[in-house]
């Protein structure tokens, strides 16, 4: 595991401390790692949507309903 030294602004440091003090996380490191995991997952979802939109733009119209597209999107994000 890589060890890093980072600096936080006062408001961000206070927020991190609050999260640790409320026992939501055991340490700032655990919290920051969780935030990075969430950001990576969110970026993967954004990348997936960009690919789908690009394919759709290149392909043209679809016969799928809005509900079918939404269900497929949710399935991909949760899987």
Domain segments of the chain as ranges? 28-78
Instruction: Look up residue 12 and give its two tokens.
Output: 């961000």
pLDDT (0 to 100) of residue 71? 85
CA distance linking residue 59 with residue 62, whole number of Å: 8
Per-residue pLDDT of the chain (79 residues; tens, 9 = 90+): 888 899 999 999 999 999 999 998 999 999 999 999 999 999 998 998 888 888 877 877 778 887 888 888 788 777 5
Position 78 scores a pLDDT of: 73
Kindly report the length of the chain.
79
Quick one: pLDDT at residue 72? Answer: 83
Q: How much is the pTM?
A: 0.66
């Amino acid at each position: 595991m890589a060890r890093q030294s980072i600096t936080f602004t006062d408001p961000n440091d206070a927020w991190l401390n609050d999260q640790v003090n409320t026992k939501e996380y055991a340490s700032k490191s655990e919290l920051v790692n969780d935030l990075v995991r969430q950001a990576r997952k969110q970026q993967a979802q954004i990348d997936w949507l960009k690919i789908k939109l690009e394919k759709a733009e290149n392909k043209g119209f679809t016969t799928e309903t809005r509900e079918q597209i939404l269900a497929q999107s949710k399935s991909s994000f949760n899987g």
